[in-house]
Structure 1
């Protein structure tokens, strides 16, 4: 994948990135808080990285010249990420948000070298005195769209375009399947792994393959709108990922799982300004509006289906429904959680198995 990085290699380059990001300069406001963002994909992906950049822009709007922001996009996980994160820290940034699971170890390594800089890592589980973690309970939204898929499918085959077989993605597939089969026990989910967060050609190919295999509804945990576009072209339905993708599939998209990072970013930056920041873990969901659903496409969805979706969403918000309520049965037909219990967070965060209803073998 060709990189279009803002401010990668040097302090001077980061300064260029600041201008490109539209941040206020020190000449405008004395000692602004300098905040950096590291994106795994392009800020224009209309998915994961796009939505984090929406959060960055919300910070600028909220704080004005009290903050100075910059971002680097298309950063590969690994050595590339470590170099970018270190450059932010070495260039006087006070707070750095690293927004992909594969940035976890690079973030920890740089944080050890710059103990006065604060870091926040999205979707990770390793923390330090100057490293906090944050994520959203995406699986809650996926349960709700699973309910919709189960009521909309005619073929009982649902296609799922997935990125990497990490617990965050696996738990999303499983929650989607639980919602699906709560209203349609005969429905099955077919998964194709593309081993990338953002690769429109591969995502398109996977979506087309799933349609050829009989899927009449598509879901995804990848960052481009390619699957939505395929659904629109094929006259079937799909769900947006991370952001509202209705513009790419006005007939195809039934709703989208939208990540709301804006409130979190503003809150954490205010805590730094107030001297109240501390390393902690945040995992918000539908109840905290860290995850929400875009408006239902009522041109495609009947009032009865919308009502069923809202019933599930409201129950999750109220705590009367957990996407992983027992009895929970795995792909082999074994009961892994009895009735009357809900799967604890630590089990969701380490999920490496499929629930019943998912076809195929989970890559290891």
Structure 2
């Protein structure tokens, strides 16, 4: 779930390297490695939904195996290696913390294709894929800025890495574009999936005056905390309305299925190439969904206009003058360079705190 860091190829170009070869007989055996249990909402749920879309689309041309709740430590390497030894010819690993393990196993199994979610390392048989999550966060920020009455927004976040920081900044910029008085208070949990910590962090920002919450973490705990406290929330990764039926304003939802289908077809057809793929609003890989009837029509309309403008390239969440929360001007005009977005390690004006744990 982490961001693209140093070493990302310029413009995410397709790597000009030979493709791995797979045996043509029988269904393609595909492995999926998940960092948390498969629940009914959250990061892993969305990847599992993507896998199910793949199975529906390709039927008996594929056979999938899933290993869930795999920690980002030595166990990951063991699990990935076991899947390769069991005959998987395509393996999707769905958390950044697996990247080093995937790289090592990929060297051992040159005939297997590996794809790493949110990683940045590439090899002859290793690709990477991710989503511009900050595009969806910008849409959520428009709603949060319009709906807050306390002018304090709460953000429960796992780890202070670029992917998370990008989302916090985009959310804040959008919220302050409609309500310049907004402050965003961030609480770090230091773990992608830890429901008790996520709940405690949500309660902490509520005590600090937040009346709209969002999160970058793996469970439904923040949604549940918002519902219990009677504050608004914007879900992340999945529609969390089951857990916040009266308090969810909308949800930034991830859609991985199209990428899984596209990558698998490329392997089946022998056309797969190592690349760093990045999707976004334009591709339908992320969006603000399940917008509540409690959100006023004019706010919904502004979200739709922003969605269209971001998808077309007319609007960039990190366009225009950017000032950090220490008062330093980071950009006077234009659009922040992609590489600077990838390495973002600072908070924009309006975020309370530091971009470190």
Same-fold call, TM cutoff 0.5: yes
1:315 aligns with 2:309: yes
Aligned pair partner of 2:332 in 332, 338, 345: 338
What's the counterpart of residue 178 of structure 1? 173
1:104 aligns with 2:99: yes
Q: Distance in 1 between matches of 2:241 and 2:325?
A: 33
What's the counterpart of residue 76 of structure 2? 81
Q: Distance in 2 between matches of 1:95 and 1:351?
A: 32
Contact 2:227–2:246, Cα closer than 8 Å, also in 1: yes
Q: Distance in 2 between matches of 1:162 and 1:234?
A: 19
Contact 2:346–2:354, Cα closer than 8 Å, also in 1: no
What's the counterpart of residue 358 of structure 1? 351
Give the deviation of 1:146 after TM superposition: 0.5
RMSD after superposition: 1.2
Q: Deviations over 1:146-183 (max 9, x none)?
A: 11110000001000000111111111111111111111
What does residue range 1-364 of structure 1 map to in structure 2 within 5 Å?
Answer: 31-44=26-39, 46-298=41-293, 300-339=294-333, 341-363=334-356
Contact 1:45–1:224, Cα closer than 8 Å, also in 2: no
Contact 2:94–2:116, Cα closer than 8 Å, also in 1: yes
What's the counterpart of residue 11 of structure 2? none
Contact 1:45–1:223, Cα closer than 8 Å, also in 2: no
Divergent runs of 4+, >6 A: none
Q: Secondary structure at the match of 1:356?
A: coil
> Per chain length, whose mean CA-contact separation is higher, i.e. which structure has more relative contact order (CA < 8 Å, sep 6+)?
2
Give the deviation of 1:201 after TM superposition: 0.7
Q: Secondary structure at the match of 1:211?
A: helix
Give the deviation of 1:45 after TM superposition: 5.4
Give the deviation of 1:326 after TM superposition: 2.1
What's the counterpart of residue 14 of structure 2? none
Q: Deviations over 1:40-71 (max 9, x none)?
A: 11111510001100011111111122111011
Q: Distance in 1 between matches of 2:40 and 2:165?
A: 22
Q: Secondary structure at the match of 1:246?
A: coil
Q: Distance in 2 between matches of 1:76 and 1:145?
A: 30
Q: Distance in 2 between matches of 1:138 and 1:42?
A: 22
State TM-score, norm by structure 1: 0.90
Q: Deviations over 1:179-235 (max 9, x none)?
A: 111111110000000011111111011101111110000010011111111111111
What's the counterpart of residue 16 of structure 1? none
Which runs of no fewer than 5 residues in structure 1 stay unpaired? Answer: 1-29
Q: Distance in 2 between matches of 1:252 and 1:278?
A: 44
Equivalent residues, number: 334
Which runs of no fewer than 5 residues in structure 2 stay unpaired? Answer: 1-24
Contact 2:248–2:292, Cα closer than 8 Å, also in 1: yes
Q: Distance in 1 between matches of 2:313 and 2:332?
A: 18
